[in-house]
Structure 1
Amino acid sequence: MLDNFLIRAALAGIGVAIAAAPLGCFVVWRRMAYFGDATAHAAILGVALSLAFSTSTIFGVLIVCLGMAVIVSNLNERGMAVDTLLGVISHSALAFGLVAVSFLSGIRVDLMAYLFGDILAISMADLIFIWIGAVIVCGIIAWRWSALLTATLNADLASSHHINPKREQLILTVALAITVAVAIKVVGALLIASLLIIPAAAARGFAKTPEMMAGLAMIIGSVSVLSGIQASLIWDTPTGPTIVCCAAVIFGVLNTLSRGMRG
């Protein structure tokens, strides 16, 4: 059954959606959308470095994403504005990555696949890696759910319960880096943040509890992936961007329904 490339693509997309959904909820709650975008952009620099040193692409992406998070955290503690800092690092990392790739002689690099994803070319090895990453991310979130939620709601409250907000931020950053690494072949570096944010934002209007929001985000993300793959086959459009378009349409519909119910 897994010899069918469409089945592999669907399973890979669902794996990424499941990993991204609960993490995306924290990104929305903490207003870290720009941080997620910056981490995804930095992934291109990780790809370039891994190709230059002939190491695993996933390893390179993880190292660069985690390194960027540490740099942002340290500079933020020195009083620099976070939004400005993320803007500088995000676009600089993407630019340096693209320039670095151009210097790689003798290595064929499909930049479009890394920028916008190539879900239909997912191999069995990629599928296994994506699901291992998804299980790790979901395991981390489940393990630290209560502490992460408390630290997100109120840092002082977390400290009074002997929860270190900085440690929880680091855990969230590690989970985000893993998600970026597993998602880059599905939707690409430029669209990863949208798969994190849009399903979580769409679920927010209907969720009565944080757990319900995470569960709804998983469902919305999975539906976006399946409908995006189907639509791209029907209309012969790029699959990664089509998945994001479907997520955006679902968000628009659910947001309208949510406002109607409140009104």
Structure 2
Amino acid sequence: MLDDFLIRAGLAGIGVALAAAPLGCFVVWRRMAYFGDATAHAAILGVALSLALGTSVFTGALAIALVMAVAVSNLSGRGYAMDTLLGVAAHSALAFGLVAVSFLQGVRVDLMAYLFGDILAVGKTDLAVIWGGAGLVLGLMAWRWQGLLTATLNPDLAYASGIDPRREQMVLALSLALVVAVAIKVVGALLIVALLIIPPAAARALARGPEAMALGAAGVGAAAAMAGLWVSYMYDTPAGPSIVSAAAVIFGLTNIAARIGLTR
């Protein structure tokens, strides 16, 4: 079954959607979109380093994304304006990554695949990495769900309950780096944040609780992955942008449905 590239692509899209859904909810609730952007852009530098050193692209992307996520988390609240800090980090990391790639000698690099994804080229090993990473993220989110939720809603209440909001922030940073590393093959560094934000935002319009929103986001992400792949196959459009476009259409439909429901 896995010899069919479309089946592998569909499974990869669903795996990334399941990993991004619960994490994306916290990104939306905490208004961390730019934080995710900086981490995703840093992954390009990780790709360049891994190609230069001859190591796995997943390992390099994960390492640099994790360094960026931890660094930004530690610098937050220390006299730096977060929007400025994240803007500098995001664009600098992307620029350094692209410059580093240009110095690689004897290595053929398809930048478009890393910037916008190449889900149709996902192999069995990539599939194992994606689902392994998704399993780790889901396990981490399930384990720390209550602590993350409390720290997100009310940091003072979290302290009173014995929960350290800074620790929960680091859990999110680790999870975000993991999602970036597994998703870069599917949608690319420039579209990862869209896959983190759009499905939870679409689910938010109809969800009645945090858990329902996370489950709804997973459903929207999986549906967008399958719809985007179908559009890409039928009309020969780029797969990564097609998936994000499908998620945007679902976002519009859920918000229209919510508004109609509110007016009745």
State the TM bucket, normalised to the shorter chain: over 0.9
Match for residue 175 of structure 1?
175
Quote the residue 1:250 is aligned against: 250
Match of 2:57 in 1: 57
**1:93 CA displacement:** 0.3
Higher mean C-alpha displacement, 57-66 vs 197-206: 57-66
State the distance in 2 between where 1:203 and 1:8 align: 26
Q: Distance in 2 between matches of 1:179 and 1:95?
A: 21
CA contact (8 A) 2:48 2:101 kept: yes
What is the Cα deviation at residue 66 of structure 1?
1.4
Instruction: For residues 34-92 of structure 1, give each alpha carbon's deviation from its aligned partner in whole angstroms, at most 9, with x where no partner exists.
Output: 11111111110110111112222111111111111222123223210001100011001
Is the 2:46–2:97 contact (alpha carbons within 8 Å) kept by the matching residues of 1? yes
Match in the other structure for 1:92: 92
Stretch of structure 1 that moved more, 75-84 or 25-34: 75-84
Structure 2 residue runs of 5 or longer lacking an equivalent are: none
Q: Does residue 1:33 correspond to 2:33, yes or no?
A: yes
Q: Distance in 2 between matches of 1:75 and 1:216?
A: 33
Q: Helix, strand or coil for the counterpart of 1:77?
A: coil
Q: Secondary structure at the match of 1:237?
A: coil
Distance 1:182 1:111 in 2: 17
Aligned residue in 2 for 1:223: 223
4+ residue runs over 3 A deviation: none
- TM-score, with structure 1 as normaliser: 0.98
Q: Does 1:24 align with 2:12?
A: no
Matched positions, count: 263
For 1:225, give the aligned amino acid: A
Is 1:142 matched up with 2:142?
A: yes
Q: C-alpha displacement at 1:236, in angstroms?
A: 0.7
The one-letter amino acid of 1:223's match is A
1:100-119 alignment to 2 at 5 Å?
100-119=100-119
Query: Any unmatched runs of 5+ in structure 1?
Result: none
The residue identity in structure 2 corresponding to 1:221 is G
Deviations 1:70-122 (A, max 9, x none): 22123223210001100011001001100100000001111110000000000
What is the distance in 1 between the residues matched to 2:69 and 2:79? 16
In structure 2, what residue type is equivalent to 1:178? L
One-letter code aligned to 2:63: I
Separation of aligned partners in 2, 1:51 and 1:246? 32
Two-structure CA RMSD over aligned residues (Å): 0.8
Match of 1:242, as an amino acid?
S
Q: Does 1:235 align with 2:235?
A: yes
> 2 CA distance for matches of 1:155 and 1:76?
15
- Answer yes or no: is the 8 Å Cα contact 2:70–2:173 preserved in 1: no
- Whether the 8 Å contact between 2:18 and 2:221 is mirrored in structure 1 is yes
2:201 aligned with 1:201, yes or no?
A: yes
The answer to whether the 8 A contact 2:73-2:173 is kept is no
Distance 1:192 1:155 in 2: 28
CA distance in 2, matches of 1:146, 1:74: 22
Q: Are 1:130 and 2:91 counterparts?
A: no
Give distance in 2, aligned partners of 1:79 and 1:73: 13
- Give the letter for the 2:57 counterpart: T
User: 1:11 and 1:70 mapped to 2: Cα distance?
Assistant: 30
SS of 1:106's partner is coil
Quote the sequence identity (%): 67
